């Protein structure tokens, strides 16, 4: 269990992020066409998972926009923005904000992703959705970088996350 804060109030996740050097847990998420997506769908690609509570918040929106601006056109790299939002809401956000280089994925069918990645918030007003976190996974599905943002209202360290993505 990890401890983070929400506006300086302590809340807890169900576990810890995957360890650097470990194999990334598989996942079952949903894309904008309501198709199931798994880690294997991105085989051979470097992956940055930007895990956010909801795109309906300012910080989640800002981080998604920032990663979209930083996304490369490389076919060997993908940035996945993962939230509890329905795919329809994710699509509306992306269209409204011009976010077109990241892939939004929803936990609408299962919270197992959040459980397996140790980011499911277990208490407080956001119980049942995710903490804010970054996981960078190399082309062989090995975890190379993680960040659990200690205060949910703060943005992640973009520079470190993008440097880890570039280096793997």
For residues 142-149, average pLDDT: 98
Q: What is the pLDDT of residues 20-72, one digit of tens each?
A: 999 999 999 999 999 999 999 999 999 999 999 999 888 888 899 888 888 86
Across all residues in the chain, what is the average pLDDT?
Answer: 94
Q: Could you give the strand order of the β-sheet that contains 103-106, starting from the edge strand earlier in sequence?
A: 36-38, 28-30, 103-106, 77-83, 46-51, 133-137, 143-148
* Check whether domain 3-167 has CATH 3.40.30.10, yes or no: yes
pLDDT above 90 covers what percent of the chain? 83
Cα–Cα distance for residue pair 99/115, rounded to 1 Å: 27
Catalytic machinery residues: 60
pLDDT category of residue 146 using cuts at 50, 70 and 90: very high
Q: What is the pLDDT of residues 111-141, one digit of tens each?
A: 999 999 999 999 999 999 999 999 999 999 9
């Amino acid at each position: 269990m990890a401890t983070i804060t929400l506006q300086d109030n302590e809340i807890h996740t169900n576990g810890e992020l995957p360890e650097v050097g470990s194999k990334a847990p598989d996942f079952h998420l949903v894309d904008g066409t309501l198709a199931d997506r798994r880690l294997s769908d991105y085989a051979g690609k470097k992956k940055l998972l930007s895990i956010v509570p909801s795109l309906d918040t300012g910080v989640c929106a800002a981080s998604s926009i920032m990663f979209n601006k930083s996304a490369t056109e490389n076919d060997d790299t993908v940035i996945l923005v993962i939230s509890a939002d329905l795919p329809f809401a994710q699509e509306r956000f992306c269209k409204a904000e011009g976010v077109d280089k990241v892939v939004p994925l929803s936990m609408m069918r299962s919270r197992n992703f959040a459980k397996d990645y140790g980011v499911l918030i277990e208490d407080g007003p956001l119980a049942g959705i995710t903490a804010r976190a970054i996981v960078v996974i190399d082309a062989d599905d090995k975890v190379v970088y993680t960040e659990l943002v200690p205060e949910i209202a703060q943005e992640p360290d973009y520079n470190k996350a993008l440097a880890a993505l570039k280096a793997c």
